[in-house]
Structure 1
Amino acid sequence: TDLPWINWQDVESVLDIGCGYGRLLDFLTFRKSYKGEYWGIDIMLDFVEKAIRTYASRSPEPKAQFIVGDFLEQTFEKNRFDVVISIGGLGVNCDYPSPFGEKSIEYAQRLISKIVSLSGTAISLYFPNVDNIDVAKRKPRMAYYQTSEIEAMLLDACGKRCKEMTFVSYPDKNNVKTIALVKLSKDNGRSLF
């Protein structure tokens, strides 16, 4: 989520997919001095209600909006957000109760394609890494991906806009959570790095 090449004071808008309670907003505000627009979306009503209660009493900077709903069903204009972050979106096994399979891959492709279309300059995308978890420890409701699968989906969606892509497992190289950090060229020429 850090996206170390970005000057957060120049970022005007962030979309947080699977925002939960909106805790990323605190990280951006207090650790990165972010003052732009923040949009959080989550399918869980309880999470969004708590986020709204938590941030309603705060100062207007950054401006925060929370949406309850399925990200794939939302309509935003292309390149609407400088940065798009998805922490939990790719963990869903759409094939459940069957093992992870074709439906999950199709979902991941749609999710990544939409994320890329909405992001102007950068993407931070968490995914459960199949190479970093023992078969016996895998949860049936979770989808697990190889880094090469996510890389191929991102490259397919980004095309020539992809300037740089890095994969980092968190908190260390053996952890199941892996982050894809993607630097994009922006259509309007504005740069945040």
Structure 2
Amino acid sequence: MLFSLILFVIVATITPGGATTLATASGTRFGFRRSVPLMGGIALGLASLAAIAAIGLAGLLRAAPASQFAMKIAGTAYLLWLTVKIASSGSPNVNAKASQSPTSFVGGALLLWLNPKGWAMALGAAASFAALTPNPLRLAVILGAAFGVAAIVSLALWCTAGVMLSRMLRTERHWRVANVMLGLLLALSIVPIWIG
């Protein structure tokens, strides 16, 4: 059962989505070191979602469908705002103002807390792996730790890919195309929120 959980969290955190795209874009634009707060916020956001889901928030969300819809609206608005911010930025040298403000730790955590896909993943894990222990607090620790560690590793890999991508971008046009593509990928990550 533990092996299945490890496999689940690796696949869930490594596959492309809003968080991985944002980590890649941040690595491309700001470098690895300046992206650490964002990645930490995302990892803590996911770990806390998994822990809270294990404790029992799933029942509360199912009991209040309006809160789920409100979360979809807020999450979509936040992701679209990030999409525009990424897609409209130029190269770090030309647009120094944008390069001075990477998404913060809180922004990374908000990305997960407002993302229904993150909630669905955490709730699904809590339901699927509840048999690991009858103690909800122990399950919260197990799921929180598993998702947190997997997210850190995954985001570090995606951010490193972004750093490597930035080394290939030589002109303002290259940066503009890359930023628009990363913005579009982030926007596409919204689609599963509404059809899933």
Shorter-chain TM-score: which interval? under 0.3
Q: What TM-score, normalized by structure 2, do the two folds share?
A: 0.23
Q: What TM-score, normalized by structure 1, do the two folds share?
A: 0.23
Q: Which one has the bigger helix percentage?
A: 2
User: Of the two, which has the highest radius of gyration?
Assistant: 2
